[in-house]
Chains A and B, each alone.
Chain A
Amino acid sequence: MYKIVEKTELSETISQHVIYAPLIAAKAKAGHFVILRSREGGERIPVTLVDWNPERGTVTLIIQAIGKSTTEMNALKQGDSFLDVAGPLGTPVEIKNWGTVLGVGGGVGIAELYPIARAYKEAGNKIVSILGARNKGLLILEKEMAELGEVIVTTDDGSAGRKGLVTDAMNDLYAAGRGPDAIFTIGPIPMMKFVALASLPHKTPTFASLNPVMLDGTGMCGGCRVEIGGKPKFACVDGPMFDAHQTNFDALLKRTAAYREQEKESLERYARDHQCRIGLH
């Protein structure tokens, strides 16, 4: 059992969990993820490590309630436990000094961007971040990211920062002659796809943290296979960070829709049984 020692609500649907998992905390690096299972009968869910503290033996995860399992996980309270937390898994991000690194995070992807941006900052890079959210209420970690460097906020509805998409802000940077030396992007698949398309003409090395459906997370099933440079790769062991210009985002998008009907059924059933706060009752 892996105890939640601290729980913070970052927004209506996004929670931060600090979990006691000393073996994982001791080994964690930027880009690693864990597989979570909250209880018997629960499914295995991949979640990126946001932070870790080897002295306290804790890791920090930020979870957005988008389906049944994540809704149920975010209903856990401080003092409750996850049944299983496996990791750290995946290949850590290669940290080097690029010069100026642009981080582009969308939604809960900002949480996953944070440890990578921090590691690049520590390696001597200048950090610029574009943080995108649907609205102000869903914007997270703005303060933490601002401690690493310049932050540009975009919201779909203009309720915070620039109204528009993260790619609009990216294009502004290029137009102002402030194109970065490398880009890291984490967020919804269409966003990452368009970030890659926006940087391609400028030949800026661009990396995306992919989020396919995962099952074991240890490389034994291939459920998370993604097409990189025309070849199949397993995101759980080879990634999840890959060259965005080589990634087939359209195929990834289709594969992540594989269980859409079942996910809906599962969430509706949970909402019925729990009079929950997600607006479906």
Chain B
Amino acid sequence: MENKPKKPTPSIKQNHGRHQDPIARRNNFDEVALGFGLEEAVTEAARCLGCKTKPCELACPVNVKIPEFVDLVHKEDLGAAASKIFETSLFPAICGRVCPQETYCENACVLKEKFGPVSIGRLERFTADYARKNGLVTPPPCAPDTGKRVACVGSGPTSLAVAAELRKLGHAVTVFEALHEFGGVLSYGIPTFRLPREVVRFEVDMLRRMGVRLLKNVMVGKSITVEELKKDFDVVYIGSGAGLPAPMHTPGEDLVGVYSSNEFLTRVNLMGAHNFPESDTPYYIGKKVIVVGGGNTAMDSARCAMRLKPDSVTLLYRRTRAEMPARVEEVENAMEEGIKFEFLTAPVELVGDERGRLRRVKCIRMELGAPDASGRRKPVPQGGSDFFIEADSLVVAIGSSPNPVIQQSTPGLATNKWGGIIVEEGTARTSLDGIYAGGDVVRGGATVLLAMKDGKSAAKAIHEKLSAKEN
């Protein structure tokens, strides 16, 4: 590249990457964040000081070798940069897109206060995309076969991380997925405008190229039990997620038009309902859509709904904008796309017509009271504040809890009162010998990144167990 900036040049203005225009993107499911071109990436990479202390790398839950890969981007050696990331994470195109870097690597960047942090997430994404599109990616080498067999239950981020790590160490890994696509929430939950499916398929396929066996349409707990898996595998890792939608417990939740966020997002993201009738799976949203909740799932639901071209999408959240658990960037994206926000508002009753279809939602206003156990101020209903909002559909996105099927079908597996599997801190060991668990089935609904982190540390503990058996 001509006139490439010298390294380091921190004073160059931080580049956040380009985005699709808010009005245009409301009409499509294409990716909103357009990412970097090569020149932008090299210029952004030039800002990195290459700190010897590597605070960014330490802050990354999977310890991506950030200064080293960023330096390779600056040298325009994208194949080497991708391989450098691969040393610790096989999923850079996914993590570069969905990880909240502002609370991890970019939060730790020494440039943060004075110049703004290096856009590490965008650089990771660029590296992975460039390497994929230019055929620069080769699967990492795997150690000779150890003869040990590991089953991963579920194919979401935590199982994918376990599979990648253990396969590299020479163990035979089989992944069992209940749905017809691999990736868990990466396939059914996160919309394509945040995470294109070719990215997920490519990074999952990397596992296949490494020799991981991927089986779909098998629901562990129903199609086969964990006990049965234990007969064929030395270790079983349960990464079945938190896919049980939390109900609102309001009258009228049975009405047609009322969706759990899981159902709504699965219809659109996994089944392609937005392409109906090209795709066979239908959706029903009508003209006025309401989404309830304040997390990333609520933002995804509202933004998906907006792309189905109703007259309006309104988000109800019982606290204020400051307490929203969603990423700031996603809230901004949602607002730019024209989603209306009603803060300090909660639905109390859903009212339907004679055909059992939702027509309006009775809401109340809240005010913030004293902080609760988690430190967040508790919303308190304001008496006499009832009002109605017209609505044809309502998406409930107020959280989810661990899928109960495996716990119920595995005698002796210790769980907590929320149905989460109890594991030993740091080793991911459950109450049953040879059975490990991690990700949302342990934590309850959390993030892709924490699920991957759990997978990495579980893989370490599993490897130790499998290696110890040799002696």
Contact = CB atoms under 8 A, between A and B. Distances in A.
Interface of A: 23-24, 27, 35, 37, 41-44, 68-69, 83-90, 215-216, 218-223, 225, 227, 232, 237, 251, 254-255, 257-259, 262-263, 265-266, 269
A85 B178 CA distance: 10
B405 A266 contact: no
A86 B280 contact: no
Given A83-B180, A84-B180, A259-B284, A90 B262 contact: no
Contacts of A259: 282, 284
A168 to B, nearest CB: 29
B280 A90 contact: no
B272 interface: yes
B216 A84 contact: yes
A149 to B, nearest CB: 30
A225 to B, nearest CB: 7
A65 B243 CA distance: 32
Contacts of A225: 254
Nearest to A38: B280
Interface stretch (B5-13, B217-225, B329-337, B361-369): B217-225
Nearest to B352: A254
B245 interface: yes
Interface stretch (B50-58, B263-271, B429-437): B263-271
A86 B180 contact: yes
A220 B266 contact: yes
A209 to B, nearest CB: 17
Interface of B: 178-180, 188, 216-219, 222-224, 243-245, 247, 253-254, 256-257, 259-260, 262-263, 266-267, 271-272, 275-282, 284, 355-356, 403-405
Contacts of B247: 222, 232
Which of B180, B260, B266, B275 counts the most chain A CB atoms within 10 A? B180
A59 B268 CA distance: 30
B219 A220 contact: no
B282 A87 contact: no
B217 A219 contact: no
Given A86-B218, A88-B222, A222-B260, A255 B282 contact: no
A216 B269 CA distance: 13
Given A218-B179, A251-B356, A237 B405 contact: yes
A215 B282 CA distance: 10
A84 B217 contact: yes
A90 B247 CA distance: 21
Nearest to B243: A220
A157 to B, nearest CB: 30
A27 B225 CA distance: 10
B218 A265 contact: no
Contacts of A266: 276-277, 280, 282
B223 A27 contact: yes
B244 A219 contact: yes
A218 B280 CA distance: 20
A257 B282 contact: no
B277 A87 contact: no
Which of A69, A84, A218, A225 counts the most chain B CB atoms within 10 A? A218
A219 B180 contact: no
Contacts of B279: 41, 43
Nearest to B217: A86
24 contacts: A41-B279, A44-B271, A84-B180, A86-B180, A86-B217, A87-B219, A87-B223, A89-B222, A89-B223, A215-B263, A215-B271, A218-B178, A218-B222, A218-B243, A219-B403, A220-B243, A220-B403, A221-B260, A222-B260, A232-B253, A237-B405, A254-B355, A258-B257, A258-B284
